Every structure is written in structure tokens, then in C-alpha cells.
């Protein structure tokens, strides 16, 4: 393979002419395209950065709202427990009052029944005493005698 100096020089001149022509024709377009591309990329980077900061802000707000909701939940639970305790105390107090009322009514009824029973016993005792006295005396005892004996017995 032979190298001719003319061919090499012609090739170099062709390359240089082609380079200068392409530079004249295409250089402005390439520079403009690259600068527009750089601006577009910078705009996208700025947009992404803006969205990231907005997302961080939203995330912070979200966390704060979750904490606030958690605090509200704890407050509601606390209030519920407090109300339940108050309600149970109220119910217990009402139940105790009702029980006291029932007991006092029962005691009053017992006292009444006791009085009635004592009266019945007094009558029975009086009748038995009268019958025994009548048998002992072998005579009939009048109602007045009966009342006198009863009154004297209960006075003692």
C-alpha cells in the first residue's frame, strides 16, 4: 500500500473545509440546541426540587395532623373513661339509695308486721289466760273482766 502525499494533503484540506463549513452552518444550531436542552433539564431539576420541598411540607403537615389526631383520640378515650367512671359512680349511688329505701321500707313493714303479730299474740295470750282463769275459777269471765286482766298484764 502506497501513500501519496497529494492524497493525504487533499484529504486534510477536505477535512478542514468540511469542518469550517459544518462549523459555520451547524455550530449555532448545536449550541442553541444544547443550551435549550440545558435549560429544559434545569427547569425539570427545579420542578423536581419544588415538588420535593412541597412533598416534604405535606409530609410534615401529615405527621403533625396524625399527632394531633392521636392526641384527640387519647383525649376522647380519656373523656370516655372519665364519663364511664362518673356514670358507674352515679349508678352505684342510685343503687345504694334504692337499696336503702327498700331496706327502710322492709324494716317499716317488719315493724308493722311485728306490731300486728304482738297484738295478735296479746289477744291469743289474753284468751288463753281468760280460759285458764275461767277453768280455775270455774265460772264465766265477762269481757270487762277480760279487758281489766289484759290491761293489768301489759302494764306490768
Cell digits of residue 16:
478542514
Q: Tell me, what's the pLDDT at 63?
A: 96
- pLDDT above 60 (res 139): no
CA–CA separation, 30 and 97 (whole Å): 98
Tell the burial category of 126 from Cβ atoms under 10 Å away from its Cβ (0-12, 13-18, 19+).
middle
What percent of the chain is predicted at pLDDT more than 70? 90
CA–CA separation, 90 and 84 (whole Å): 10
Sign of the dihedral defined by the CA atoms of residues 62, 64, 69, 70, in that order:
positive
Confidence band of 28 (pLDDT split at 50, 70, 90): confident
- pLDDT above 90 (res 153): no
- pLDDT tens-digit profile of 82-133? 999 999 999 999 999 999 999 999 999 998 998 898 888 888 887 877 777 7
Amino acid at each position: 500500500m502506497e501513500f501519496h502525499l497529494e492524497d493525504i494533503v487533499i484529504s486534510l484540506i477536505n477535512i478542514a473545509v468540511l469542518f469550517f463549513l459544518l462549523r459555520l452552518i451547524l455550530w449555532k444550531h448545536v449550541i442553541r440546541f444544547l443550551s435549550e436542552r440545558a435549560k429544559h433539564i434545569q427547569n425539570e431539576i427545579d420542578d423536581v426540587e419544588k415538588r420535593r420541598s412541597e412533598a416534604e411540607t405535606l409530609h410534615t403537615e401529615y405527621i403533625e395532623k396524625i399527632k394531633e389526631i392521636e392526641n384527640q383520640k387519647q383525649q376522647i378515650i380519656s373523656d370516655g373513661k372519665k364519663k364511664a367512671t362518673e356514670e358507674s359512680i352515679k349508678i352505684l349511688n342510685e343503687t345504694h339509695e334504692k337499696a336503702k329505701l327498700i331496706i327502710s321500707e322492709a324494716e317499716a313493714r317488719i315493724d308493722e308486721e311485728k306490731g300486728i303479730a304482738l297484738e295478735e299474740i296479746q289477744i291469743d295470750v289474753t284468751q288463753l289466760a281468760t280460759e285458764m282463769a275461767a277453768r280455775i275459777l270455774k265460772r264465766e269471765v265477762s269481757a270487762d273482766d277480760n279487758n281489766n286482766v289484759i290491761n293489768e298484764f301489759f302494764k306490768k
